[in-house]
Structure 1
Amino acid sequence: MVELLNLEMAAARQRAKQAELSLKQAKTMLDDNHGLAISLALCSRIRAGQARAKAAKRRLLKMVPPTSAH
């Protein structure tokens, strides 16, 4: 059971990291001047990337058992 949780957490961390990397790449591309159509597409990609990164982080946080503060 613990091994399955570790595997799921590793996969969730990987998804979060990949979403953040994709977001960073899109933001870097937006800094280059490619024209309006490309910029609009990149803005859409950035918004989608932000949503994926947030969702991946939320899933990861749900898997991490809360620590007890005694």
Structure 2
Amino acid sequence: MDFAHSDRYRKLGLNIQYYRKERSFSQERLAECAGISVSLLAKAENAFAGISLDTLFRIADALEVEPYKLLKFRD
């Protein structure tokens, strides 16, 4: 991955995956609840693509977490 802030995108993807698994959601289930494609969710979780704020908010709503939790990066 060659784009700016790639480390942050990777951490965002890990956070999405963490909360998804905490809710026992498959990627398919979370994508359905968030109204996005499975491929977009997979790309976000694996830091292959940046996501819009709208998509971030949709994912956070589907996971029932505040959006900042997806952006809170641990070292």
Larger radius of gyration: 1
